[in-house]
Amino acid sequence: MASMECITGPIHGLRLPRQAWAGLCKHGITTLDQLEAMADRLKRLEHIGPKTARVVRKELARLAVLPAQASSHQSTGPS
């Protein structure tokens, strides 16, 4: 199981399975920038196989969509 210290870092809000947290912590991945840089290679890391890597990439994609949705709602809101 991943330590709480790692989970409370900058990526703590991601919706990831325990296995992903364990792999990310083991490899010192604690920021979104680090995670995005490793996204294509995650399945090669210990504790993170192809299925978990897909879950992580899907979560990164979800985060990328959220700011775009928020800004489009603000620009199309009532005047």
DSSP states of 28-70 as a string? T--SHHHHHHHGGGGGGSTT--HHHHHHHHHHHHHHHHHHHHH
Domain boundaries along the sequence of the chain: 4-61
What CATH class is the domain 4-61? mainly alpha
The 10s digit of each residue's pLDDT in 57-71 is 999 888 877 655 555
Q: Is the pTM here over 0.75, yes or no?
A: no
The 10s digit of each residue's pLDDT in 36-45 is 888 899 998 8
